[in-house]
Each structure stands twice: as C-alpha cells, then as structure tokens.
Structure 1
Amino acid sequence: MLTIYGVTRSRASRIIWLCHELGLPFRQVPVIQAYRLPDPDAPDAPLNTHSPDFLKLSPAGAVPVIQDGDLVLSESLACTLHLARKYGQPFGPADAVEDALMLQWSFYAATAIEQDALTILFNHDKGQIQSGAAQASVAHAAERLIRPLRVLEDHIARHGHLVGGRFTVADLNLAEVLRYAQGYGQLMEQFPAVMAWLDDCQARPAFRKMWQERLAEPE
C-alpha cells in the first residue's frame, strides 16, 4: 500500500487530494513540520521533520515523502505526477504530448507562481492587508503574479482546463499552488476565468474530502 509521510496541513494535501480522486488507498504517517513545534528535538516530541527516523527517508527534512513499493520519493509535485502517470487517465497523461504538457504546467506553478503566492499567504491576514513591510511584500508579490496569471487566464478561458480538456493532475497541482493567493481578492478578481476554474477544482468531492481532513488536524 502507498504510504504518505506528512500531515495534511502541508504539501501532502496535493497527494492526498489525488489519491481521493483515484480512489487509491493509502496509509498516512503524520510527520509534522519541525518549525511548528516548541522543541522538535525533545525526547517526547511527535514524529517531525527533525526526527532521525524521518531523516532516513528524507535527508532534506521536508514533507511530504511517499513510499510506493521500493520507490521512496520526495517533492510533492513529483509525487503527484508519478501517481498520475502510474494510474493513468483521466487524471494522468494519455500520451507523451499530454505528459509533457502536465510537466510544463506543474513546473510553471512551482517556478512562476508558488513563491509569490506563498508571500501573499504568509503576509495577508484574514482578508486584511497588514501594515508596513508585510503590506509592501504582498503588493510586490501580487504585481509579480499578474503576468503568469494573465497566461493562465487566457489558457483557461480558451480551453477550460490545462491539458486535454478535462481535469487532470496538472489542474490539481496548479490549483493547490494558486490556493495560497486566492484569499487576496485585489489580485484574483482581475482573472475571472481563473477564479471560476479554481472554484470548480475545489468543488470536486475529492478536494472537499481532503479539505475536511485538513481542517480536522490541529493548527
């Protein structure tokens, strides 16, 4: 059985969402991020990204990690792409062209969107822009996101989905990255097709199941 190492309040959420889409059973080992603990190295600390047993699997000390048979794989987007390719359509590629496009959009999410989207997430408090340096960071991140989101807006408006005219792992990967910025209406309202697409992605039963599991975990 597939094993996922990582709490759902982490990038493991991407893998868990895909497993629910696939109907793929898995075992989850809830490895928590060390920065969330007062003393991750304490003898009674829960399994975390500093724990020696976890570092044997992930020398980088980062979640998530999956174990799929003999394969131990880190990096959440690599994990979702692997599983989608292994289990195939409709979420995985039908051919080499779709495979390349799914890689393209997943890398686009990671390189053109994620860093600035995370800046917005970490500096935007419950819908209200914070003052000072946080406000400037959000404004600059939002400005940098306009160009990649214009690309996404045009593609979604014309095609409805990223690859193959259907929901695939590419949509899942990019939606999970863009989720970090979706609470910043001043940015997102400029891209109505993207907002509608993101709403549709998050209305899927598999996402909603993952999200309920995520909310059930301690913050």
Structure 2
Amino acid sequence: MTLTIYGCYRSRASRNIWLANELGLSFTHVPVIQVYRLPDPNAPGAPLHTQSPDFLAINPKGQIPAIDDGGFKLQESLAINLYLARKHGGPLAPKDAQEEGLAEMWSLWASTSVEPHALNIQYHMAAYPPEKRKPELVEAALAALPAPFAVLDGVLAQGGGFVMGGRFTVADINVAEIIRYAKPATALFDAAPRVKAWLDACHARPAFKAMWQAREAEAA
C-alpha cells in the first residue's frame, strides 16, 4: 500500500511528515497550498490548492493535511498521526488500550487548551508584519497559557521527560507540534523548564530535523 501525504510543509502536514520520518515510512508527498495564500487561485498555472477539484476529491472539507493510504482517506493531522502510529506499531505507538486513551487525551487537550492561544502568539508576536499584529490577543494568550504549561511540566516530571509511557511516542509529536507555536513567548518556557527541555529534545531528533530542513526550503 502506498501512503500519500497531501499538504505543504508550512502547515499542520508537518506533524504527519515528522511522524512518517520517525517510523521510516516510504510516502509520496503532494504539495497542496492553502487557498488564502494565493492572490488568484484560478489563474492559469496556479498550484494545487485546498479548493482545487483534484484535492477536494481527497478531502471535501478543503483543508490540509490529508492522506490517502492505499485508498483509505483520512483528514485531521492529529488523527492521522494516531492512525499511522497504531497501524505501524513500534515504540512510538500506544502499547495498549490505556495508552491509546492517553495519546488521544493529550492530543485533544493540546488542540483545545493550548493551540488557539499558541497560534495567536506565533502570528501576532512573530509571523505577521507589525501592522497586522494584535497585542491584545498576545496578552490574552500569555494570560491563558501558564496554567496548561504548568500541567505539562508536571506530567513531564512524572513521566521521565515524556508525555506518556516513559518513552518518546506519537503523543509527544502531537503535543510538541502545538507547543512549538508558542516559542516566541520565551517567558512561558522559562517558567516551565521541563517543557523547554522536552521541546528542545524533540526538535533535536533527526526525523524532526529532516522535516524542518524541508520546511525551511519551501517557499514562504
């Protein structure tokens, strides 16, 4: 069966490519750009984008990432990672039903309790040009994130530096790719030193570095 990952590196597809690298999977990468990044998505020669008919046949929701795994189509980056880890097994996968529950729990927790605020930090402290930044969103994020960062710091202390199972797993990838958005707010990490050390260790992994190198080479 052939795995195809749809999405540009500068999207949540980075999560799936990182995991595929960790698992040593052979896959085809089909770049798909977010339609809002194109001045005219209908122009002749426009790249494949999230509203292109060919991509909507893969994901009618018109969002990246998506995968086609030998005819099985799946969307939502965190779900894709949980599926691939379970399918291919090994130490990155949950070892039993309890760990499956934990991996799902921490993935959902990160996406709901951390990601909305962390994205505001990423965009309004770093990614957006100054004239588009909204300081009030940064202030709200900085007020909201210390509590979940403290929770994660405590979990890492109990788990030997990992989110679950005392080892590096898909749960670390899913949570780390969300925590990463908050990196411009260095004070958050200074107050949660285990989170900082864990994220640094995640980003030192060869599979992450390979994904990030390809991301940096991709057109902004």
Normalised TM-score (structure 1): 0.95
2:88 & 2:57 partners in 1: Cα distance?
Answer: 28
Offset from partner CA, 1:90-110 (integer Å, 9 cap, x none) = 100111111111011111111
1:135 matched to 2:135? The reply is: yes
**Identical aligned pairs, as a percentage?**
52
1:93 & 1:133 partners in 2: Cα distance?
Answer: 40
Alignment partner, residue 155 of structure 1: 155
Alignment partner, residue 218 of structure 1: 219
1:198 & 1:31 partners in 2: Cα distance?
Answer: 27
2:20 & 2:42 partners in 1: Cα distance?
Answer: 32
Q: Which moved more, 1:35-44 or 1:70-79?
A: 35-44
Unaligned runs of 5+ in 2: none
What SS does the corresponding residue of 2:134 show, helix, strand or coil?
Answer: helix
What SS does the corresponding residue of 2:74 show, helix, strand or coil?
Answer: strand
Assess if the C-alpha contact under 8 Å between 2:59 and 2:66 holds in 1: yes
Offset from partner CA, 1:174-205 (integer Å, 9 cap, x none) = 00011000121122211111000000000000
Letter in 2 for 1:125: A
Counterpart mapping for 1:57-206 below 5 A:
57-125=58-126, 134-159=134-159, 160-206=161-207
1:189 & 1:41 partners in 2: Cα distance?
Answer: 46
What SS does the corresponding residue of 1:156 show, helix, strand or coil?
Answer: helix
Assess if the C-alpha contact under 8 Å between 1:6 and 1:65 holds in 2: yes
2:152 & 2:87 partners in 1: Cα distance?
Answer: 27
Displacement after TM superposition at 1:130 (Å): 5.5
Alignment partner, residue 22 of structure 1: 23
Counterpart mapping for 1:1-12 below 5 A:
1-12=2-13
Normalised TM-score (structure 2): 0.95
Offset from partner CA, 1:5-64 (integer Å, 9 cap, x none) = 111111110000001100000000001111111111223211001111111211111000
Unaligned runs of 5+ in 1: none
Displacement after TM superposition at 1:131 (Å): 8.3
Letter in 1 for 2:33: I
2:170 & 2:207 partners in 1: Cα distance?
Answer: 13
1:178 & 1:205 partners in 2: Cα distance?
Answer: 19
Assess if the C-alpha contact under 8 Å between 1:32 and 1:48 holds in 2: yes
1:125 & 1:71 partners in 2: Cα distance?
Answer: 37
Assess if the C-alpha contact under 8 Å between 2:126 and 2:184 holds in 1: no
